[in-house]
């Protein structure tokens, strides 16, 4: 729950006129806005949505990605938004991205994008992939943010995008990026919500992730990864949220990381590198 609330804070600092506080009054106003938004986060709806997404078993097939996309549309409509499906061609089939928009009052032409991918995939290409963490967590949080921001006065416009085929060479997001470039969208910031629900493990090994893989190679890798995460968790002492971005987005990543840490009570770390994002 704390990680989800922290992610919610990603949006609000970016909707102010600047990426950093200009005056004490602006800082105070923003803190009140964030606190009010935190109180509206519904833990039950987040858990329910993650469970619903897991029920698709593996969100990699054409059929299941379309089912997931239609489910996201229903969730956005229930939240009071007007979603749309953006279709594109990939591997000789028509695939869906899902989007929704909230118009800013002061600078509507300036856009903050909040993103999540709706597909999942098991390592090695086989086995089930319920994808609770990667990336039902991101989808559930983005839906929760959309419902809360719909009732919030926004300075800039916010675009919510749910991409298909992220695990297939980023096909859905690449299609959207081409259209955004063609239409000269004034995108001021893009925040990708991915892998938000991985908490520090309580024991070295859990059987469920091992069973999810079809090959011995990936079963062994999952065991090694779980043991490593368990040791790292003991060493670090608590969960951590990482904000990653390229050097060109350094100020955005550092400012957002600082605000997340201040309001969430979690450790927040900005990671800057050209291989990020």
CA distance 88 to 83: 17
For the chain, give the mean pLDDT. 82
Structural domains in the chain, sorted by start: 42-197 (3.40.630.10)
Percent of the chain exceeding pLDDT 90 equals 39
CA torsion sign, 260 to 111 to 163 to 82? positive
Residue 113 to residues 23, 75, 80, 188: CA-CA distances in angstroms? Answer: 25, 19, 19, 8
This prediction's pTM: 0.83
Range of lowest pLDDT (34-38, 177-181, 238-242): 238-242
Nearest to 10 by CA among 247, 244, 273: 244
Structure tokens belonging to residue 105: 């009052």
Instruction: Answer yes or no: is pLDDT of 23 > 90.
Output: no
Is residue 137 a contact partner of residue 197, using CB atoms and an 8 Å limit?
A: yes
Residue 253 to residues 76, 198, 257: CA-CA distances in angstroms? Answer: 28, 21, 6
pLDDT at position 3 is: 47
pLDDT tens for residues 64-76? 999 999 999 999 9
Question: 51: Cβ–Cβ under 8 A, 6 or more apart, which residues?
Answer: none
Instruction: Answer yes or no: is pLDDT of 20 > 60.
Output: no
pLDDT tens for residues 88-107? 999 999 999 999 999 999 99
DSSP string, the chain: -HHHHHHHTTTGGGGSSSSS--SHHHHHHHHHHHHHHHHT--HHHHHHHHHHHHTTSBTTSHHHHHHHHHHHHHHHHHTT---EEEEEEETTEEEEEEEEEE--SSEEEEEEEEEEE-----GGG-S-B--IIIIIIHHHHHHHHHHHHTTS--SEEEEEEEES-TTTTTHHHHHHHHHHHHTT-EEEEEEE------PPPSSS--HHHHHH-SSHHHHHHHHHHHHHHHHHHHHH-S-EEEEEE-GGGHHHHHHHHHHHHHHHSSEEEEEE-TT--
CB-neighbour burial class of residue 81 (10 A; exposed 0-12, middle 13-18, buried 19+): buried
CA distance 264 to 187: 26
Q: Kindly indicate the confidence band of residue 227, based on its pLDDT and cuts at 50, 70 and 90.
A: confident
CA distance 5 to 49: 15
Instruction: Answer yes or no: is pLDDT of 2 > 80.
Output: no
Question: 225: Cβ–Cβ under 8 A, 6 or more apart, which residues?
Answer: none
Q: Kindly indicate the confidence band of residue 259, based on its pLDDT and cuts at 50, 70 and 90.
A: confident
Range of lowest pLDDT (20-29, 150-159, 162-171): 20-29
What integer is the mean pLDDT of 16-20? 48
Q: Kindly indicate the confidence band of residue 189, based on its pLDDT and cuts at 50, 70 and 90.
A: confident
Q: Kindly indicate the confidence band of residue 276, based on its pLDDT and cuts at 50, 70 and 90.
A: low
Rounding to the nearest 10 degrees, give the CA dihedral for residues 183, 276, 69, 145. Answer: -90
């Amino acid at each position: 729950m704390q990680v989800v609330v922290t992610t919610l804070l990603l949006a609000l600092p970016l909707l102010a006129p600047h990426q950093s506080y200009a005056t004490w009054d602006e800082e105070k106003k923003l803190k009140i806005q964030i606190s009010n938004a935190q109180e509206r986060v519904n833990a039950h709806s987040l858990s329910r949505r993650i469970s619903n997404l897991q029920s698709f078993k593996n969100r990699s097939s054409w059929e299941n990605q379309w089912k997931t996309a239609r489910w996201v549309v229903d969730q956005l409509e229930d939240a009071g938004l007007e979603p749309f499906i953006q279709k594109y061609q990939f591997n000789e089939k028509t695939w869906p991205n899902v989007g929704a928009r909230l118009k800013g009052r002061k600078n509507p032409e300036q856009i903050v994008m909040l993103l999540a991918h709706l597909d999942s995939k098991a390592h090695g290409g086989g086995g089930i992939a319920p994808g609770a963490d990667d990336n039902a967590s991101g989808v559930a949080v983005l839906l929760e943010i959309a419902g809360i921001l719909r009732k919030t006065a926004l300075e800039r416009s916010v675009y919510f995008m749910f991409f298909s085929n992220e695990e297939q060479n980023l096909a859905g997001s690449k299609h959207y990026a081409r259209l955004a470039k063609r239409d000269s969208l004034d995108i001021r910031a893009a925040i990708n919500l991915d892998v938000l629900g991985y908490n520090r493990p309580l024991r070295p090994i859990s059987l469920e992730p091992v069973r999810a893989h079809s090959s011995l190679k990936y079963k062994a890798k999952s065991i090694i990864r779980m043991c490593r995460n368990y040791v790292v968790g003991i060493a670090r002492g608590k969960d951590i949220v990482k904000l990653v971005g390229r050097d060109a987005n350094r100020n955005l990543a550092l400012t957002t990381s600082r605000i997340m840490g201040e309001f969430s009570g979690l450790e927040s770390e900005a990671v800057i590198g050209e291989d990020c994002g």
